[in-house]
Amino acid sequence: MGSHQPSSPLAALFRREIRIARSIGGGGGMGVVFFLILVSLTPFAIGPDMNLLARIGPAILWIAALLATLLGLDRLFQGDADDGSLDLFTMSATPLELVVLVKCAAHWGLTALPLIVAAPVLGLTLGLEPSALAGVAASLLAGTPALTLLGAIGAALTAGLRRGGLLMAVLILPLTVPVLIFGVAAAAAASGGTVPFHTPFLILCALSLISIAGAPFAAAAALRAREA
């Protein structure tokens, strides 16, 4: 048997996340179904006026994507907190910040990416133009990393608490407001209007990059703060 190079701990962590999510189920699939239900609720509430739905379509898709992402993030650290893996991560030589980043990357790939694929399809039910569909998909692609990482801060703060999910949403939703504002602005700008697409889109990319740079530190600090 040839010698087998052990893979880096982060790569192993990434594969572990994917395996766990696949075996548990309810990862990407459930998120997309929830997304579909949220998007469907709006026409039930507002009425089938397609002009109105097309105008607020990007906003509906963004709010639904935000909620679907946030509610899935509740479980980001919960399983590890329960079975003690979180303590192992905290004590290991691998920086906890990188562990957070890898877990968020896995979560984004499993939960947000299906949403980004589903969004243009659901946009058709809201009567969006092809350019608006592309704009929504692009803005979600640029903005969901920020949502995932900000949500990770909330998940780290509330890991192991009762009613953690509701509290996490209360803590993080105010911070995701800028992402939402620029995301919808980019999605709406894609279908024409006075604002060029790249202005809010580049700001959205900047928000995601800032989150990637800063959120792992806040989330890791929150995880370390959990030890009494």
Per-residue mark of binding to other proteins, 36-75 (x: CB under 8 A): ----------------------------------------
Decide whether 1 or 228 has the Cβ nearer to other proteins: 228
Q: Is 226 in the site for other proteins (CB under 8 A)?
A: yes
Write the DSSP assignment of 22-37 as a string of letters. Answer: HHH--SHHHHHHHHHH
- Interface residue with other proteins, options 153, 180, 185, 205 (CB under 8 A): 153
- Residue 2's alpha-carbon distances to 5, 142, 143, 159, in angstroms, are 10, 43, 44, 42
Q: Comparing C-alpha atoms, which of 174, 150, 187, 170 is closest to residue 62?
A: 187
Q: Does 175 bind other proteins (CB under 8 A)?
A: yes
The structure tokens listed for 133 are 């569909």
Tokens of 218: 């806040």
In the range 194-223, which residues lie near other proteins by CB under 8 A?
218, 221-222
128 binds other proteins (CB under 8 A): no
Nearest to 59 by CA among 118, 136, 153: 136
Name which of 69 and 118 has its Cβ closer to other proteins: 69
| The only residue of 46, 170, 206, 209 in contact with other proteins, by rule CB under 8 A | 170
* 8 A C-beta contact, residue 22 and residue 106: no
Binding site for other proteins (CB under 8 A): 153, 157-158, 161-164, 167, 170-171, 173-175, 177, 218, 221-222, 225-228
